[in-house]
Amino acid sequence: MELTKTEKNAWRMFRIMGEFVDGFQTLTEFPRAITIFGSARTKPDSPYYQAAVKIAELAVRRGFPVITGGGPGIMQAGNQGAHGAGGRSIGLCIQLPMEQSGNPYINVKLDFHYFFVRKVMFLKHTCAVVVMPGGFGTLDELFETITLVQTRKIPPMPILLYGKSFWKGMLTWARKTMEVEHAYISPGDLDLITVVDSPEEAMAALGEVHPEPPHQVGETPLD
């Protein structure tokens, strides 16, 4: 028997709740992580791929778990670096018809049907974000993170853009057009971002950020 629209919505609600519960229960066991965003299309021979591997290795050596979107490209690089360094390599995988669900370097895996649930999980368990070059999905993750920090929905955290040449045009446009010409962002908003050009610069930009002990739901951002 075909479900009514009301019944379909009810099942959708339970599925959403189930994804949140699964994410909270799994990730609250770990200290806060470094999250690495970037393109799924980046190849292993790319300097950006190799940089993401190194950043993840260095993060693990400082005691951080590493979270990625669990797919190929930069996500695989982050998981590869964390896995190779013997750390917690977390993949928050999204179910998409055109991409694999989970790369081989993940040792903690969560699958999501809903992008918005997955995005909450990224930032609820993160103390710094490294944004490698990428496309629309990467920009979506970047600007959501900036907006949540800007509006104080989450505490301040390092937001690192890797690759000065890649991000230069966007940042120039944001300052000239968004800030100066139209005042759509406030002076100082772009200071929420730090641009780095090497894994070592990325680690230095974390400053005094350290992994926190496992936390309880209700004591974290996005409450």
Q: What confidence score (pLDDT) does residue 102 get?
A: 87
Q: What confidence score (pLDDT) does residue 26 get?
A: 92
Q: What is the pTM of this model?
A: 0.90
Question: What would the pLDDT profile of 103-115 be if each residue is shown by its tens digit?
Answer: 999 999 999 999 9
Q: What confidence score (pLDDT) does residue 100 get?
A: 58
Query: Could you tell me the CA-to-CA distances from 145 to 68, 180, 188, 198 in Å, in that order?
Result: 14, 22, 16, 22
Q: What confidence score (pLDDT) does residue 216 get?
A: 43
CB atoms within 10 A of CB 199: 21
Question: What would the pLDDT profile of 81-98 be if each residue is shown by its tens digit?
Answer: 999 999 999 999 998 766
Q: What confidence score (pLDDT) does residue 44 get?
A: 98
Q: What confidence score (pLDDT) does residue 219 get?
A: 47
**C-alpha–C-alpha distance, residues 53 and 73, integer Å:** 11
- The CATH architecture one would assign to domain 5-205 is 3-Layer(aba) Sandwich (3.40)
Which parts of the chain have pLDDT scores under 50?
215-220
Q: What confidence score (pLDDT) does residue 99 get?
A: 60
Q: What confidence score (pLDDT) does residue 1 get?
A: 66
Dihedral angle, C-alpha 107, 110, 116, 119, nearest 10 ° = -20
Residue listed under structure tokens 């772009």: 190
**C-alpha–C-alpha distance, residues 222 and 155, integer Å:** 9
